[in-house]
Structure 1
Amino acid sequence: MQIKHFFDDPTHLVHSALNSLTITNPSIAFDKENKIIYRRPRQDGDQKVSIISGGGSGHEPGFAGFVGKGMLTASVAGTIFASPSAEQVRRAVLTRVPTEKGVLVITMNYTGDVLNFGMAAEKAKAGGVSTEFYAIGDDVGVGRAKGGKVGRRGIGGGILLLKIVGALAEAGGSLTQVYELAQQVNRNLISLGSSLERVHVPGREIPKEGETEGVIPYGEIEVGMGIHNEPGSKRVKASLPELVKIMLAQLLDPNDSDRHYTNITKDDKIVLFMNNLGATSMIEFAGATNECVKQLKEDYGLTPVRVITGTFLTSLDGLGWSASILKLEDTKLGSGKSMLELIDAPAESVGWANTGVATSTWDADQSATFDKAATDTADTSKTNLTIDPQQASKLLKVGLERMAKAEPDVTRYDSIVGDGDCGIGLKRGAEAVMKLLDSGDLPTDAVGFLNKIIPVVENEMDGTSGAIYAIFLNALAFGLRSQDTGSSKAVDSQTWAKAMKSAMGDLAKYTPATKGDRTLMDSLIPFADTLSQGGSLKDAAAASRKGAEETKSMKASLGRAVYVGAEEEWMGKIPDPGAWGLAEFFDGIAEAS
């Protein structure tokens, strides 16, 4: 792997790369603090649906390089190969783009991106902004069996999807139309990459001489490698024509039930989208494109109506490339809005290689910026739903105290089946919420009460469980607000049950985890289901405890427990740490009720 770099400070590198976009395209601006690239206000003042994407840095020009007229409205960057925080995305939605026509938050299907972009989308929706969220998954390198509930990863073909939905938004499409088109394109999109070598991240420790872990041996090719060095389906020794044959088979073979996501026949019209992972020489990349087109014609009877090649979504200096095939399908959106017309529509973004920035854009006054005052995402308008804040505080504090006291057990469990930080995270969050409750500054408005707690959870609880709690609480606030009929009403168990059912539905958009996966959902789902079915708080807590106990005998299908530790050492003895901690909380509030 290449270990020589011009930059040894990855933070400075990311900031420099993002700022460079404002030099090459004067219609965009840079919020350095939050690593947001965004379009300056439109010259014509016409409002359109805003599209926000993003993800870890190191994939340039994706995603910030696609901000501009005809594509993205804004992009949010994390550090190299790491998702940006939900707070960064929240600020992009609320302070850097127009929201009058709605916002589509769209990213690639990776856990960190889905949770953090999803949390921001839920907060925006709870705050009254029409918002939709979508995670792109186009990769067939990891099939259904291995991908499981996580589904397909997002790789190079996702950029073609962003181009299409960006063009529809520019053409005046509604939020519903843009969101539904994203889903339609994804159903018809398949991608696969291959690489000769893994990559080295600037600033990370240089492998010691003789170390071979993770290195692809000379002469071998990783078929299906992900954009963060993740393994693919297999390693092969093959010539370029042999490699292309293997890749096209994984993409198009209708008999491969593990990878057959889109049925494409010789009667279909297709677009071939070739993406350089960063370091493949242009002459070899051109040769690979030629070979793909040749075999598509000869072996499958397919002649692409468009062949788009370029460096769109890289893996730093990845020595490989990916091929994506889009089956063109009727959008039913009318003239000028077919998939092909939207692909051909002009776009003024640095990363879209098939077009450039128009002269009129360079000549226009580009001094304006979007810099709206930052506001709390939560909708602070009062509702007519009331609670007794003292009674609610009493119940919560007993539950939170039990959760905090369970920290040693939860930490011990997580040290065996995880990375050991679950207990500390739960305790830190519980203590922070208890401190808020002790302040006494608690409204009688039920939604307002929740909105006091939510930012504490967001700021004090980290990790995957923290993100899940934050998304759930935001969605719970939305579920409560949606039951406000305009007349004063004390929130009862039925109201909470309906709100929880709504929140569980929203949470399912951002995590594939469900009952039986050995996660905190094994505690949360039984609690919510029991309340929804008319059970008492004590009944719901008992169901939650039963669910947590049952995780002791479950095989993990999500999270670090899938690959951490020897299963025989804990199976039947150790519960899921997150489920156990949550059950302690529910036991506490039931005890105090």
Structure 2
Amino acid sequence: MQTKHFFNDPDHLVHSALHSLTVTNPSLAYDRDYKIVFRRPGASSQKKVSIVSGGGSGHEPAFAGYVGKGLLDASVAGTIFASPSAEQIRKAATDCVDTERGILVIPMNYTGDVLNFGMAAEKARAAGVKTEFFAINDDVGVGRKKGGKVGRRGIAGGILILKLVGALAEAGGSLDEVYRLAQLANDNVVTVGSSLEHVHIPGREVPKDTVPNDEVEIGMGIHNEPGSHRVKASLQELVKTMLQQMLDQNDSDRAYLSWNKSDQFVLLINNLGGLSTLELAGVTDEVYRQLEQDYQIKPARIIQGTFLTSLNGLGFSASLLRLENTGLGAGKSMLELLDAPAEAVGWHAPISATTWESKTSAPVEVKRTKLAEERASNIKLDPSVLKKVLSAGLERVIAAEPMVTKYDTIVGDGDCGVGLKRGAEAVLGLLNSPSSNINDDVVKAVLRIVSVVEVTMDGTSGAIYAIFLNALAHGLREQDKGMPTTANAEVWAAALQYSLSALAKYTPAQPGDRTMIDALVPFCTKLMETKDLSAAAKAAQDGSEASKSMKASLGRSVYVGGENEWVGKIPDPGAYGLAEFLSGLAEAV
């Protein structure tokens, strides 16, 4: 688990994080003594029911991140993973929000939160404030038997409930309407999370229990509590189990939601804090795919992001809200309330209702531009000669891979040789393929090679080769005068000079910077001067050799230390690999 933090004082961290909300949302205020974030007086233009929530810190953006127009009116924070005190909550409910139309106190269903928020609600009632209390409980990771009298835990699906009641209160709903909506929504939402590891709280000892590297815990709570079980599973298998826990109506222990195929749903995919955005997006796609394939559910809304975390928890949760009739009239359906605008930094559902309503699965028709390789040219060369010469160069590169890799392991990240070999093998495969369609049209041949390079070679070197070869094809085409022209050394030299000029637009690399340019530029320059391929290849080899004594100005070598150990001994790997290819060409002519 990740145990390194920028803050090692958890109290200072919590105060800093809460105060930051007043910086990012000027409509908010912060009571440091009671750790309350609340809307400034006058932030609402009309009297409304006030919504008060909160809980332990460490779940950001929940809960203070949801204070703002259209959502919460106040949030109360405890220390990390601990409920705030009843007095903190009482202060928020009676002193920090407008109470004229009543308040809804709505925490998550955890023992400490229920007791302290419940006590504060009773104090508010005793003070003459019209108050309702509801504890959100949406987690199905722990079933009825294990949950016992405590019931379901409140996790990320609860954010959808907060959004619904906040929007209804902002729209003028009564306290009774807001309270009944919270109950209705809770009856129709299910959530389950999974995590690859427990989390570490800044300033505390490392927990002894960890999740084995090859396992995932299904249903892990947002405070490191155990879930239903640990399993070795692929993402596909994991999602299948999670959806079963949420939707299987034959599971007597977990069938909290009654539904049929005509129902509409909202899907919420929540990052528990430590998952990359890339992986979270992949999770969303997998959940969506299985919902459609196995349950014939196509959600009316799909909301993805970080809504309720477990610090930097390495996992995610999925929530499904069945859209039920609220009975509140026009503009106040569940979907309309979810779509209603909110000015809270934690809420992000940027796709508008009109965009969702106009969605279609119709195939997209796009225009088709005639590709460069589809245009014939008059620059000619015997295809057998082209294949012979190129094959010799490519085989030389493949043979040089161990040495290129050795060099790059010392001065780079070790992938240069493998990348060059992969590209060389792919181009060699193209040349030897009966279906390659390589004929005497050199421009078309170069562009066919480019299409292979672009697919098989990645990273900086792949991009440079692709740009250079695309420009080379254009440089050759520029010499097409409308009649058959043999691609001799003069034609190639002119095209190469054009390629160098084009490449200079996209990279600042020059000879002396210790890059592949140290072999490429001498080759092109010497070929232009002498029209002699052997002399040009020798110039490339000399350039590669000279790179041994150069200090890196560009490329990965800039960041690698220990220059005293390799300067004067190790050439630039990219320059070395290119020089080997060019030498192979020269030897085959």
TM-score class normalised by the smaller sequence: 0.5 to 0.7
The residue that corresponds to 2:96 in the other structure is 96
Answering whether residue 239 of structure 2 is matched by residue 244 of structure 1, we say yes
State the distance in 1 between where 2:137 and 2:188 align: 11
Answering whether residue 235 of structure 2 is matched by residue 235 of structure 1, we say no
Q: Which amino acid aligns with 1:113?
A: D
**How far apart are residue 53 of structure 1 and its match?**
0.1
Name stretches of at least 5 consecutive residues in structure 1 with no aligned partner. 208-212, 357-593
The residue that corresponds to 1:440 in the other structure is none
**How far apart are residue 45 of structure 1 and its match?**
4.0
State the distance in 2 between where 1:44 and 1:231 align: 41
Deviations 1:189-222 (A, max 9, x none): 0000000000000010246xxxxx3100011000
TM-score by length of 1: 0.59
Question: In the TM superposition, what are the counterparts of 1:140-155 in structure 2 within 5 Å?
Answer: 140-155=140-155
Is the 1:66–1:349 contact (alpha carbons within 8 Å) kept by the matching residues of 2?
A: yes
State the distance in 1 between where 2:69 and 2:350 align: 11
State the distance in 1 between where 2:191 and 2:43 align: 37
State the distance in 2 between where 1:248 and 1:352 align: 24
**How far apart are residue 52 of structure 1 and its match?**
0.2
State the distance in 1 between where 2:50 and 2:170 align: 9
The residue that corresponds to 1:32 in the other structure is 32
State the distance in 1 between where 2:117 and 2:58 align: 18
**How far apart are residue 43 of structure 1 and its match?**
4.8
The residue that corresponds to 1:186 in the other structure is 186
Answering whether residue 346 of structure 2 is matched by residue 351 of structure 1, we say yes
Answering whether residue 275 of structure 2 is matched by residue 280 of structure 1, we say yes
The residue that corresponds to 2:163 in the other structure is 163
Total equivalences in the alignment = 351
State the distance in 2 between where 1:195 and 1:315 align: 10
The residue that corresponds to 1:177 in the other structure is 177
Q: Which amino acid aligns with 2:225?
A: E
State the distance in 1 between where 2:20 and 2:290 align: 39
| Shift in alpha-carbon separation, 1:66–1:355, aligned structure 2, 3 A | farther
State the distance in 1 between where 2:63 and 2:43 align: 23
Deviations 1:42-97 (A, max 9, x none): 35641100000000000000000000000000000000000000000010011100
Structure number, greater radius of gyration: 2
State the distance in 2 between where 1:243 and 1:206 align: 27
Answering whether residue 206 of structure 2 is matched by residue 203 of structure 1, we say no
State the distance in 2 between where 1:280 and 1:30 align: 30
Is the 1:346–1:355 contact (alpha carbons within 8 Å) kept by the matching residues of 2?
A: no
Q: Which amino acid aligns with 1:40?
A: R
The residue that corresponds to 1:259 in the other structure is 254
Q: Which amino acid aligns with 2:334?
A: M
State the distance in 2 between where 1:44 and 1:249 align: 43
Is the 1:220–1:235 contact (alpha carbons within 8 Å) kept by the matching residues of 2?
A: yes
State the distance in 2 between where 1:44 and 1:170 align: 8
| Shift in alpha-carbon separation, 1:96–1:189, aligned structure 2, 3 A | same
Deviations 1:298-327 (A, max 9, x none): 000110000001100000000000000000
| Shift in alpha-carbon separation, 1:253–1:43, aligned structure 2, 3 A | closer
The residue that corresponds to 1:118 in the other structure is 118
Deviations 1:279-316 (A, max 9, x none): 00111110000000000000001100000011000000
| Shift in alpha-carbon separation, 1:224–1:289, aligned structure 2, 3 A | same
Question: In the TM superposition, what are the counterparts of 1:66-77 in structure 2 within 5 Å?
Answer: 66-77=66-77
Q: Percent of pairs identical after alignment? A: 69
Is the 1:31–1:37 contact (alpha carbons within 8 Å) kept by the matching residues of 2?
A: yes
Answering whether residue 338 of structure 2 is matched by residue 316 of structure 1, we say no
State the distance in 2 between where 1:333 and 1:265 align: 23
State the distance in 1 between where 2:186 and 2:267 align: 14
CA RMSD of aligned residues (A): 1.0
| Shift in alpha-carbon separation, 1:19–1:233, aligned structure 2, 3 A | same
Instruction: Give the 4+ runs in structure 1 shifted more than 4 A.
Output: none
State the distance in 2 between where 1:12 and 1:298 align: 48
TM-score by length of 2: 0.59
Equivalent residue in structure 1 for 2:333, among 338, 353, 356: 338
State the distance in 1 between where 2:43 and 2:282 align: 42
Q: Which amino acid aligns with 1:37?
A: V
- Between 1 and 2, higher relative CO (CA 8 Å, sep ≥ 6) is seen in 1
